[in-house]
Amino acid sequence: MTTTDDYATYIASLPRVLAGAAALYRDGEGRVLLVEPNYREGWALPGGTIESDQGESPRTAARRESAEEIGIDVPLGRLLAVDWSVGAGRPPIVAYVYDGGVLDAAQLASVKLQEEELISWRLVDPSELTAYLPGALGLRTAEACRVLRSGEGTAELENGRRPAAP
Protein backbone atom coordinates (compact mmCIF):
# COMPACT_ATOMS: atom_id res chain seq x y z
CA MET A 1 0.00 0.00 0.00
CA THR A 2 1.33 3.47 -0.89
CA THR A 3 1.35 6.52 1.30
CA THR A 4 -1.45 7.94 -0.89
CA ASP A 5 -3.56 4.83 -0.23
CA ASP A 6 -2.86 5.09 3.51
CA TYR A 7 -3.92 8.73 3.53
CA ALA A 8 -7.12 8.00 1.55
CA THR A 9 -7.97 5.19 3.98
CA TYR A 10 -7.30 7.50 6.92
CA ILE A 11 -9.54 10.26 5.48
CA ALA A 12 -12.33 7.73 4.77
CA SER A 13 -12.19 6.62 8.42
CA LEU A 14 -12.77 10.10 9.86
CA PRO A 15 -16.16 11.07 11.29
CA ARG A 16 -18.53 13.07 9.07
CA VAL A 17 -19.90 16.51 9.84
CA LEU A 18 -22.52 18.26 7.73
CA ALA A 19 -22.13 21.96 6.90
CA GLY A 20 -24.74 24.52 5.98
CA ALA A 21 -24.86 28.25 5.39
CA ALA A 22 -27.68 30.79 5.38
CA ALA A 23 -28.29 34.49 4.88
CA LEU A 24 -30.17 36.73 7.29
CA TYR A 25 -32.15 39.23 5.17
CA ARG A 26 -34.24 41.98 6.72
CA ASP A 27 -36.68 44.61 5.56
CA GLY A 28 -36.54 48.30 6.53
CA GLU A 29 -38.50 47.55 9.71
CA GLY A 30 -35.98 44.94 10.86
CA ARG A 31 -38.20 41.94 10.14
CA VAL A 32 -36.38 38.75 9.07
CA LEU A 33 -37.13 36.98 5.78
CA LEU A 34 -38.04 33.32 6.38
CA VAL A 35 -38.86 30.59 3.89
CA GLU A 36 -41.18 27.61 4.36
CA PRO A 37 -39.67 24.35 3.01
CA ASN A 38 -41.90 21.64 1.56
CA TYR A 39 -39.68 18.79 2.77
CA ARG A 40 -39.94 19.36 6.54
CA GLU A 41 -41.99 21.13 9.20
CA GLY A 42 -41.21 24.68 10.22
CA TRP A 43 -39.55 27.64 8.57
CA ALA A 44 -35.92 28.44 7.76
CA LEU A 45 -33.54 31.13 6.60
CA PRO A 46 -32.66 31.09 2.90
CA GLY A 47 -29.65 28.79 2.66
CA GLY A 48 -28.65 25.18 2.58
CA THR A 49 -25.90 22.63 2.30
CA ILE A 50 -22.35 23.66 1.50
CA GLU A 51 -21.14 21.71 -1.53
CA SER A 52 -17.73 20.99 -0.02
CA ASP A 53 -17.02 18.27 -2.59
CA GLN A 54 -17.07 21.12 -5.13
CA GLY A 55 -14.74 23.26 -3.01
CA GLU A 56 -17.54 25.67 -2.08
CA SER A 57 -17.00 27.98 0.88
CA PRO A 58 -19.73 28.75 3.44
CA ARG A 59 -20.13 32.33 2.15
CA THR A 60 -20.41 31.16 -1.47
CA ALA A 61 -22.95 28.51 -0.46
CA ALA A 62 -25.15 31.01 1.39
CA ARG A 63 -25.17 33.34 -1.61
CA ARG A 64 -25.77 30.51 -4.13
CA GLU A 65 -28.57 28.98 -2.06
CA SER A 66 -30.25 32.39 -1.64
CA ALA A 67 -30.13 33.00 -5.38
CA GLU A 68 -31.56 29.53 -6.04
CA GLU A 69 -34.23 29.61 -3.33
CA ILE A 70 -35.53 33.19 -3.45
CA GLY A 71 -33.91 34.79 -6.49
CA ILE A 72 -31.93 37.29 -4.40
CA ASP A 73 -28.24 37.46 -5.34
CA VAL A 74 -26.44 40.21 -3.44
CA PRO A 75 -22.99 40.25 -1.82
CA LEU A 76 -23.26 39.06 1.77
CA GLY A 77 -22.00 40.99 4.74
CA ARG A 78 -20.16 39.73 7.76
CA LEU A 79 -20.39 36.35 9.43
CA LEU A 80 -22.85 36.71 12.31
CA ALA A 81 -22.87 33.25 13.87
CA VAL A 82 -21.30 29.80 13.68
CA ASP A 83 -23.22 27.02 15.39
CA TRP A 84 -22.22 23.43 16.20
CA SER A 85 -25.55 21.62 16.26
CA VAL A 86 -26.05 18.01 17.29
CA GLY A 87 -29.36 16.30 16.58
CA ALA A 88 -30.83 12.84 16.85
CA GLY A 89 -30.61 10.69 13.76
CA ARG A 90 -28.07 12.80 11.87
CA PRO A 91 -24.41 13.77 11.99
CA PRO A 92 -23.48 17.07 13.66
CA ILE A 93 -23.96 20.20 11.58
CA VAL A 94 -21.78 23.29 11.48
CA ALA A 95 -24.09 26.15 10.46
CA TYR A 96 -22.92 29.58 9.29
CA VAL A 97 -25.18 32.66 9.26
CA TYR A 98 -24.20 35.71 7.18
CA ASP A 99 -25.66 39.20 7.11
CA GLY A 100 -27.75 39.41 3.94
CA GLY A 101 -28.49 43.08 4.53
CA VAL A 102 -31.66 45.11 4.31
CA LEU A 103 -33.79 44.43 1.24
CA ASP A 104 -35.72 47.33 -0.25
CA ALA A 105 -39.32 47.13 -1.47
CA ALA A 106 -38.30 46.32 -5.06
CA GLN A 107 -36.05 43.46 -3.94
CA LEU A 108 -38.78 42.03 -1.71
CA ALA A 109 -41.28 42.29 -4.57
CA SER A 110 -38.85 40.36 -6.79
CA VAL A 111 -38.59 37.34 -4.44
CA LYS A 112 -39.16 34.24 -6.59
CA LEU A 113 -39.43 30.96 -4.69
CA GLN A 114 -37.74 27.78 -5.84
CA GLU A 115 -40.92 25.73 -6.16
CA GLU A 116 -39.12 22.37 -5.90
CA GLU A 117 -38.19 23.15 -2.27
CA LEU A 118 -40.26 26.06 -0.95
CA ILE A 119 -43.95 26.74 -0.29
CA SER A 120 -43.90 30.37 0.84
CA TRP A 121 -41.95 33.18 2.47
CA ARG A 122 -42.72 35.84 5.04
CA LEU A 123 -41.20 38.61 7.11
CA VAL A 124 -41.10 37.95 10.86
CA ASP A 125 -40.30 40.28 13.74
CA PRO A 126 -37.11 39.13 15.52
CA SER A 127 -39.07 38.72 18.78
CA GLU A 128 -41.18 35.99 17.08
CA LEU A 129 -38.39 33.97 15.45
CA THR A 130 -38.43 31.04 17.85
CA ALA A 131 -42.15 30.54 17.15
CA TYR A 132 -41.34 29.91 13.47
CA LEU A 133 -37.89 28.35 13.60
CA PRO A 134 -37.45 25.02 15.38
CA GLY A 135 -34.87 24.35 18.10
CA ALA A 136 -31.30 25.43 17.54
CA LEU A 137 -32.21 27.18 14.28
CA GLY A 138 -34.49 29.60 16.11
CA LEU A 139 -31.94 30.23 18.84
CA ARG A 140 -29.15 30.65 16.24
CA THR A 141 -31.17 33.15 14.21
CA ALA A 142 -32.20 35.14 17.29
CA GLU A 143 -28.54 35.27 18.36
CA ALA A 144 -27.50 36.44 14.87
CA CYS A 145 -30.07 39.25 15.14
CA ARG A 146 -28.73 40.18 18.56
CA VAL A 147 -25.17 40.32 17.17
CA LEU A 148 -26.39 42.61 14.37
CA ARG A 149 -28.06 44.99 16.84
CA SER A 150 -25.12 45.06 19.24
CA GLY A 151 -22.40 45.36 16.62
CA GLU A 152 -20.30 42.75 18.43
CA GLY A 153 -18.27 40.07 16.67
CA THR A 154 -19.36 36.68 15.40
CA ALA A 155 -21.28 34.53 17.87
CA GLU A 156 -19.83 31.08 18.54
CA LEU A 157 -22.71 28.78 19.40
CA GLU A 158 -23.45 25.21 20.42
CA ASN A 159 -26.99 24.09 19.60
CA GLY A 160 -27.96 27.75 19.21
CA ARG A 161 -26.58 28.90 22.56
CA ARG A 162 -23.33 30.49 23.62
CA PRO A 163 -21.21 27.87 25.38
CA ALA A 164 -20.40 28.36 29.03
CA ALA A 165 -17.15 30.19 29.62
CA PRO A 166 -14.28 27.94 30.76
CA 9 remoteness from chain centre = 31
pLDDT tens figures, 45-94: 999 999 988 899 999 999 999 999 999 999 999 999 999 999 888 889 99
How far is 154 from 152, CA to CA, in rounded Å? 7
Handedness of CA 79, 128, 68, 47 (dihedral sign): positive
This prediction has a pTM of 0.91
pLDDT tens figures, 88-126: 888 899 999 999 999 999 999 999 999 999 999 999 999
Q: Which class is domain 13-158?
A: alpha beta
For the chain, how big is the Rg over CA atoms in Å?
Answer: 17
Q: Measuring CA to CA, which residue among 48, 44, 43, 45 is closest to residue 60?
A: 48
How far is 21 from 66, CA to CA, in rounded Å? 10
Domain positions in the chain are 13-158
